Amino acid sequence: MRELVKDTTERRLGQKSHKCRLCKTEGMFESYLVREMMQNTREEFEYFVCGECGCFQIAEIPSDLRKYYGKDYYSFAQEEYPDVRYELSIKNMDKILDVGCGSGVWLFQKALAGWGNLHGCDPFLERDMYYGDRVHIRKCSIHEVEGDADYDEIRMGDVFEHMAEPLEVLQSAERLLKPEAVLVMDIPIFPNIAFEMFGAHWYQIDAPRHLFLHSKKSLEYLEKQSGLKIIRIEYDSHYSQIFRSFFYSMGVPFYELTQEMVDEYYDTKAQQSMMKITMQCNQDEYSDHAKIYWMHKEAAANIQHIDSMWEDRVQYAKETEYVDKSIMEKYIEKKKILAEKKYADKHLALYKMMIQWVKVKQQGKSLGSYFEQKKYKKIAIYGMSYAGETLVEELKDSNVKIAYGIDKNASSIYSDVEIVTMDGELEVVDAVIVTAITFFDEIAKALSMKISCPIISLEDILYEV
């Protein structure tokens, strides 16, 4: 069992002078010192609770928030499949925008289930992303998204708390939504049982990424300032609000906590107790997470049986989410099997090629002589792993000059020859020899757009010598 060490730092800072960035109230507010625990930097940030609107917020937004996300952040973990072929035909063409979608897990899940008009935006992406013709994700903020009154639904799945300008975000959503369309927002919410129990160790604070932990009162303030109306709030916390916050207080960062560790410190009875507490807090609107539904104020005022309409909608959403996740899991498993097969095929092909290379050498033949006969005095090598380096070694004592190697991992490969990527211009050579034989056709196609010379598979050469 891992030994836990309780954090003994006094994290309540008492009342300090602050100005709420939401309602603009100035005063002496309860303040707290919060550690960054997801990336485990342990960097500390001051937060405070506005005495007027009740919003729990960071005192000073870091100048470079991007570094607290990075490519390993969980919402960017989805692998892109630009050439995906969908098995299910399109059954829903509602235009949906997922704000702060990361690499598009939720959107891709919907696309696999037959949704065909899906869009996303996230300013922290490295570039635009696509999943076939059904999912289009832009590297931008919601303010840059085009299409006034064009969307049937906008989703913000645990992203609103990351927004430095929440009112402006709601105003952009108002602009993009059709008259009777819906904004569905998932957010951590304050105050709650987890903060009451663990204070600054409440894991949903997620310093410094979560800038605003909204209260019902601060959401009502935003409602008054915007053209949108809250039509439903559903508290939906998981009992992890308790045990994750406990382990944060004991110095265990987010990614080091495992179910085995939870089971070691909380037996079945204790976990069942946490579940009951969470269920009761959800009913009492005192848990730490909620789903907020918004509509245009005019539309909300004109809809007669809004409760029954939303009962149907929520039930449909829950049913389709379960189906969508099932399809997503099957697709990912299928891709995993295909990837493993492709990996095995690649190494089998490499093994056979290296056997042929040994036979060529046993016959006293050399690739240097072959290149000289073909008048290839200056070549480049594509693929600088084992086969590429072996070719470099073989040509060392020949009259053939290796101008450079080409590899997507150029920056991490050490070699006696210069290694470049396909991104820049390629120096003119007599031929490019491709050692990555499994992907020769697609590599040759890409190279032919960058350089004008013969592009030859090393495998073909070894069987021709």
What six digits make up the tokens of 64? 């470079």
Q: Is 409 exposed, middle or buried (0-12, 13-18, 19+ CB in 10 A)?
A: exposed
pLDDT digits (tens, 9 = 90+) for 142-166: 999 999 999 999 999 999 999 999 9
Comparison of pLDDT for 411 and 176, the residue scoring more: 176
- Residue 14, pLDDT > 70, answer yes
Whether residue 400 contacts residue 379, with contact meaning beta carbons closer than 8 Å, is answered with: yes
Q: Which pLDDT band, with edges at 50, 70 and 90, does 315 fall under?
A: low
- Residue 332, pLDDT > 90, answer no
Three-state secondary structure readout of 183-233: EEEEEECCCCHHHHHHHHHCHHHCCCCCCEECCHHHHHHHHHHCCEEEEEE
> What's the whole-number average pLDDT of the chain?
90
d(CA 217, CA 55): 8
Q: Which pLDDT band, with edges at 50, 70 and 90, does 60 fall under?
A: very high
For the beta carbon of residue 306, count every other beta carbon within 10 angstroms. 16
User: For position 318, what pLDDT does the model report?
Assistant: 53
In order of 34, 194, 291, the CA distances from 281 in angstroms are: 24, 10, 15
d(CA 218, CA 214): 6
Q: What is the largest CA-CA distance in the chain?
A: 89
